[in-house]
């Protein structure tokens, strides 16, 4: 919801001051589908609000699901579309949100990158992806007439479509709303942001002095290879990226998670193991996440299972701090790097 517009709409309708906070509280609960369902408001006001303001800035176009993952295609007010994913395989329901319509970074293994950038998302469009899922969960809970507690999103990862650090102001505003007790009230440690490696913004992020988690898509510790699969490496070299990450860990004393998707013949050789081990080096706060590549149409192939195991055992032998991240949602094209607007999701 456009919070500034809410204030103006209430002023236009001569409402007392307390209405603003009352409506915001209702909105952040995520259980209301429209203003009309907020029965703690006078009927006339509900009608006026529904006529003059949208409760959510995103509208469901389509939802598909498999055992652990649901992917929604959402329509924005200007007709643009984005995707968001709900994952239910851990202690917490996790939502992956998009930060841009498309993405300008053009990573060669990523479906979103092939779309190019359409536009940045506003802070409300980022926040409303989380509220959208809370609303879906609430409606399902009511349909099932369940006696259990109402489920809600417990973790947010900004890893969907887009490079979040290139939409800095709106990203930071959205994170503040998601984290704030007056907003979605999610603990900072339950929120993660992933960047392709915008080094100067990693330093800005460190200066925010927040507990929000940071992940960096590394995918190769060889400058040439990284440039060939992630054009961002031409803007910020591996040395600059590493330096920024070191400043981050010194400043925040928090871990950085480096994502490394194994791609057949690209980044899975013994030499690549040497380079990535060197990159992680002795920084105790650098942590590697090894992930199987999620295949996209006309894209790169994942490394074979055998190669993956070899890579994994060599990292273990070298006592590197790493883990293997499971990847869900491939059947829905909802896994990392697979989000792209298709006519048929």
Interface residue list for ligand SF4 (CB under 6 A):
103, 105-107, 110, 112-113, 161-163, 196, 217, 337
Please state the closest distance from residue 33 (CB atom) to ligand SF4, in A: 30
Alpha helices in the chain (DSSP H): 3-12, 18-29, 43-52, 123-143, 168-179, 199-207, 223-229, 232-235, 238-252, 270-280, 305-317
Task: From the candidates 47, 83, 163, 259, give the one annotated as an active-site residue.
Answer: 83
Residue with tokens 């032998």: 317
Residue nearest to ligand SF4 (CB): 113
Distance spanning both ends of the chain, measured CA to CA? 26
- CB of residue 98 to ligand SF4, shortest distance in Å: 9
The yes-or-no answer on residue 83 being catalytic is yes
Residue 118: CB minimum distance to ligand SF4, A: 12
CA dist 116 and 106 (Å) reads: 7
- What is the closest distance, in whole angstroms, from the C-beta atom of residue 236 to ligand SF4 in the complex? 13
Quote the least distance from Cβ 126 to ligand SF4, whole Å: 14
Contact 193, 175 (CB under 8 A): yes
Q: Which residues pair with 87 in a beta bridge?
A: 69, 94
- Residue position matching structure tokens 């409402």: 15
Cα–Cα distance between 99 and 183 in angstroms, integer? 18
In whole angstroms, how far apart are CA 207 and each of 175, 202, 203, 244, 287? Answer: 15, 9, 6, 12, 21
CB 150 within 8 A of CB 140: no
Closer by beta carbon to ligand SF4, 112 or else 170: 112
**The dihedral of CA 95, 97, 102, 105: what is its sign?**
negative
Nearer to ligand SF4, 26 or 192 (CB): 192
The answer to whether 96 and 160 are in contact (CB under 8 A) is yes
Return the number of the residue (229 or 276) whose C-beta is nearest ligand SF4: 229
Pick the closer one to ligand SF4 by CB: 58 or 161. Answer: 161
Of 137 and 159, which CB lies nearer to ligand SF4 in the complex structure? Answer: 159
How many helical (H) and strand (E) elements, i.e. helices and strands, does the chain have? 11, 12
Catalytic-role residue among 96, 103, 245, 336: 336
Provide the minimum distance between the beta carbon of 4 and ligand SF4 in the complex, in angstroms, as a whole number: 29
Which of 30, 328, 34 has its CA nearest to residue 152?
Answer: 30
Nearer to ligand SF4, 116 or 270 (CB): 116
Question: Which residues are known to be catalytic?
Answer: 83, 336
């Amino acid at each position: 919801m456009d919070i500034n517009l809410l204030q103006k709409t209430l002023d236009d309708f001569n409402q007392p001051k307390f209405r603003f906070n009352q409506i915001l509280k209702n909105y952040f609960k995520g259980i209301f589908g429209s203003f009309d369902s907020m029965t703690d408001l006078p009927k006339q006001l509900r009608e006026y609000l529904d006529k003059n303001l949208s409760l959510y800035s995103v509208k469901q176009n389509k939802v598909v699901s498999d055992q652990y993952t649901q992917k929604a295609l959402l329509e924005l007010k200007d007709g643009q579309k984005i995707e968001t994913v709900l994952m239910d395989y851990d202690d917490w329901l996790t939502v992956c949100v998009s930060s841009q319509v498309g993405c300008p970074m053009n990573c060669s293994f990523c479906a979103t990158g092939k779309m190019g950038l359409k536009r940045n998302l506003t802070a409300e469009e980022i926040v409303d992806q989380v509220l959208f899922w809370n609303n879906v969960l609430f409606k399902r809970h009511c349909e099932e007439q369940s006696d259990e507690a109402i489920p809600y999103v417990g973790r947010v990862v900004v890893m969907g479509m887009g490079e979040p650090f290139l939409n800095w102001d709106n990203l930071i505003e959205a994170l503040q709303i998601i984290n704030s007790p007056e907003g979605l009230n999610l603990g900072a440690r339950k929120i993660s942001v992933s960047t392709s490696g915008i080094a100067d913004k990693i330093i800005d992020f460190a200066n925010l002095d927040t507990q929000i988690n940071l992940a960096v898509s590394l995918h190769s510790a060889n400058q040439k290879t990284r440039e060939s699969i992630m054009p961002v490496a031409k803007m910020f070299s591996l040395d600059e990226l590493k330096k920024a990450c070191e400043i981050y860990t010194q400043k925040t004393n928090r871990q950085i998670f480096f994502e490394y998707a194994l791609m057949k013949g690209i980044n899975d050789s013994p030499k690549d193991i040497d380079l990535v081990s060197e990159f992680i080096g002795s920084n105790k706060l650098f942590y590697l996440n090894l992930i199987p590549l999620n295949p996209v149409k006309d894209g790169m192939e994942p490394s074979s299972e055998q190669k993956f195991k070899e890579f994994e055992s060599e990292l273990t032998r070298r006592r590197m701090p790493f883990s293997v991240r499971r990847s869900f949602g491939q059947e829905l094209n909802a896994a990392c790097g697979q989000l792209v607007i298709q006519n048929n999701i």
